[in-house]
Structure 1
Amino acid sequence: MSYRHTIYTDRCKGCGLCVAVCPKQVLEIATELNAKGYFPAYQARPEDCIFCSTCCIMCPDVAISIVELAEATA
């Protein structure tokens, strides 16, 4: 199974809760502002993500999602 991790940067206010709880230290706070004037979180090391969803649970703004991708059938 494969998964997709998405951070909706326009929803993120850069509180850093997701960064603090990530067990693999995948997330960091960006140095560029989003449309609302916040520094959003981003995946600095996406290859290290284990898709545990801890970041999704902690995000007070529901700005992070992890979804299972449908497998291609031949």
Structure 2
Amino acid sequence: MGKILGAVVINEDRCKGCALCVDACPKDVLALAGRKVNVHGYPYVEAIKADDCIGCASCGIVCPDGCITVYRKKLD
């Protein structure tokens, strides 16, 4: 069975920094951007360990604003 590689894409301008996705991620891929804010003045989430993403999509499921898209690729 091949390994699944995930990729998280975050729409930073829509993110309100609720951090529900940060808590939902089993691999600690996501974190708040620290002092950075988006165009609306909210701190936003970044993928700080993007290579650890397994593509489970837990972050995208819990995001109340639909800011997260998760892509999966099967490696042979």
Q: Same fold (TM over 0.5)?
A: yes
Contiguous gaps of at least 5 residues in structure 2: none
**Is 1:18 matched up with 2:21?**
yes
2:26 partner SS: coil
Higher alpha-carbon deviation: 3-12 or 35-44 = 3-12
Identity across the alignment (%): 42
Q: Which runs of 4+ in 1 moved over 3 A?
A: 1-4
- The structure richer in strand per residue is 2
2:12 partner SS: coil
Contiguous gaps of at least 5 residues in structure 1: 70-74
Q: Deviations over 1:3-26 (max 9, x none)?
A: 532000001000000000100001
| TM-score (norm: length of structure 1) | 0.84
Report the RMSD for the aligned CA atoms in angstroms. Answer: 1.5
